[in-house]
Structure formats: C-alpha cells, structure tokens
Amino acid sequence: MKATQRTVRLDLAEPLRISRSTMAARDAVWLTVEVDGLRGHGEAVTSVYYGLDAGTLERLLAAVATDLRRFRDPESALDALRAGELAGEDTPPAVTAAVESALLDLAGKRAGSPVHRLLGAATAPVAATARTIGITSPVRAAAEARCLTASGFAVIKVKAGAPDPEEDVERVRVIRDAAPRARLLLDPNGAWTTAQADALLPRFAELGVEAVEQPLAPGDPEALGALAARSPLPVIADEDAVSLEDARRLAGRVHGVNVKLAKCGGVHAALRIAEAIDGSGTALMLGCLTASSLGLAPAVHLADRARWADLDGHLLLAHDPWAGIGGTDGFVRASGLPGLGVRRSPGEEAA
C-alpha cells in the first residue's frame, strides 16, 4: 500500500474556553492510504493536554506510513494493527486511531460497504449530538442556547470550572431559561474539589442538568467513584477513563464513561470498552476532540451504541474541510456510502 500525509490548520469559528485553557485553532494531520486507485483517509489532531504537537504527529504517522508499504491490502494491515504488529505499544492512541480510520475507510471502499456494516450494524447510525457552550458570559450563553434549540439541538453541553463557581451556576440557569426543553450536560473538565462538587451538584440537579462529566481532577478514580455513589445526578468519567483498564476499573462505579477514539485508540478499542462496561450499570458516552468531519466520522459509525453522543467537534470549526456526517440540525448521521462516507467539502480540492 501507498501512504501519504498532509498537515492542515483547523481554525475555530470562535475561541472555546474551558476550565484549563482557551483554544482558537489546532493542527490536523491527514493520513491517506491507497490501493488500486482507491483511497482511505484518517485524521489525528494536536492536543496540548495529551502532549501531541504537529511535529510529533507527523513523525509518528510517517513511521507508520513507511511500515504500511509491506502490506498489500488494508484488511491485512488492520489485522496487524489490532495485533500490535503495526503500531507499537508506545504509539499514542490518537495515532493508532487515525491509522485505523484510514484503513477502515479503504477497506469499506474496497468492499463497497459503509464502515458501520463492517462493524456489524445493519442500518446507518443516527444520533442526537450535544453541542458545546464554553465558559462565557450569561448573555452570550443564553443567546447561543436559543440559537441552538432553534436549529434543532436537543442536547446542550455546558462547560464549567470558572474561577467563581457562581458563574457556572448562573450560566446554567440562563441556558435552562433560554432552552427549557433541552437536555443539559455539564463538563467542568476536572476543575472542582470534592467539597465544591458536593456543594454544587445538588444545585445543578435542581436546574435540571442530566449528567456531569469529570467533576474532579483526574488521577483519583476512587474519589470519583465515591462521588458518583452520593451524587444527585449521574457522573460520567472522562479524563479518568482513557484505556480499557480504566473503564474496567470504573465499571459499575460511575454512571458513564466518555470514550473518545483519539483517547482510547480507535473504533475497535472503543468497542472493547463498550463490551467491558455492558451490564455494569455504567453507560457509554461517545465524545470527541475538536476536529474535522473526517476525524469525527469513525465515531459516528458507532453513535447508536451510546447513551450520550457528544460529537460536535466539526461544528466548532470556522470551515470544515470535510463533509458527510451532518450535525448542523442537532443530529449526526453515518451514510450508506462505502467507507467512512466523508468527502472533501465544496470548493476543496478533490481527495
């Protein structure tokens, strides 16, 4: 197989502020694999939190691209990837996920089948996705909430973790007033102490928040599990739920785990986590990093397996260079086209 890569800049429509940082743009590295004129694509994006800059992604994907030349087809390369024979144990999950995405896309195109069918689903998944409102002023938050619900969004995720917790409470209150029928999720990104969480969660429950992601700083899953046991609303682990081992440790102790393909290592790693928590009382949430439709597409092919879908990363961009998974009306959809079902956006060069 032939493999090439390209690095592009993804600018956000507006800076997104969360408890630990504010982001205005990130780089994406696209991996393309080709056999007999058919191409498969995958995307890895930079992340300060995970210690991945563009240079690191380019170097690691270039090494995998060189190794891919020894495979005649994507199917055998996928087998090797899952067996740990293509990307080593020290390969970051984001890189493994991008490689798997490109190989699945190409395998689907060779088979004339969409990726979800390769994964055993007969119908194309459709899911209501959350749309994120960052840490911002109450006036702006309320305006965003009204706009989102008017566009069809039924789930809104509110970022929390402002220096003054009362700001978070007020932001949620005005969003609830502006969007009284919306399902609300809350995400402090690990900003609260245990005492703060104990004091704040009942107040957010009264405001109708459906669930909270990672209220406590990661690194103490025991504390997170104990908080979940007494919390008046469901607690979802995110930064504390990275690997399959993490998910097994938390199964039955928290109400949900947020699985991001770039965090766990790709589609098949996500499926193993889903299997591990099945029947434990811990539900699956599918999340994402800010990325293009290409980066989001593999997760969309799993979206019907999750209780919560937070797959809006492409909707935060000023311009999405790929298209094919929808989302602007509040729903992401996998198509019936072969492979991932994504294509370059109108006006972009042919892929």
**Taking a C-beta distance cutoff of 8 angstroms, is the pair 161, 170 a contact?**
no
Give per-residue pLDDT as tens, 101-110.
999 999 999 9
Per-residue model confidence as pLDDT tens digits over 194-238: 999 999 999 999 999 999 999 999 999 999 999 999 999 999 999
In 279-342 the beta strands, taken as DSSP E runs, fall at: 283-286, 308-309, 322-323, 331-333
Report the pLDDT value the prediction gives residue 347, as an integer from 0 to 100: 74
Strands 22-35 and 38-45 come out as antiparallel
Query: Is the predicted pLDDT of residue 248 greater than 50, yes or no?
Result: yes
What are the CA-CA distances from residue 36 to residues 39, 118, 199, 203 (Å)?
9, 20, 60, 59
Residue 333 has which token pair?
Answer: 């959809």
pLDDT in tens, 58-105: 999 999 999 999 999 999 999 999 998 987 778 999 999 999 999 999
Q: What's the average model confidence in pLDDT over 300-319? A: 98
pLDDT of residue 349: 61
Q: What's the pLDDT score for residue 346?
A: 85
Enumerate residues 6+ apart whose C-beta is below 8 A from 309: 127, 128, 129, 130, 155, 285, 286, 303, 332
Residue 348: pLDDT over 80: no
* The residue type at 263: K
pLDDT (tens digit, 9 = 90+) per residue, 10-57? 999 999 999 999 999 999 999 999 999 999 999 999 999 999 999 999
- In tens, the pLDDT along 146-200 reads 999 999 999 999 999 999 999 999 999 999 999 999 999 999 999 999 999 999 9
Q: Where are the alpha helices (DSSP H) in the chain?
A: 54-68, 74-82, 93-111, 115-118, 138-151, 165-178, 194-206, 221-230, 244-250, 261-264, 267-277, 293-300
Looking at the predicted structure, is the pLDDT value of residue 350 above 60?
no
Give me the DSSP letters along 128-184. EBEEEE-S--HHHHHHHHHHHHHHT--EEEEE---SSHHHHHHHHHHHHHHSTTSEE
| Residue 351 predicted with pLDDT over 50 | no
Give the count of beta carbons closer than 10 Å to the beta carbon of residue 133.
Answer: 23
What number of residues does the chain have? 351
Residue 281 burial (CB count, 10 A): 11
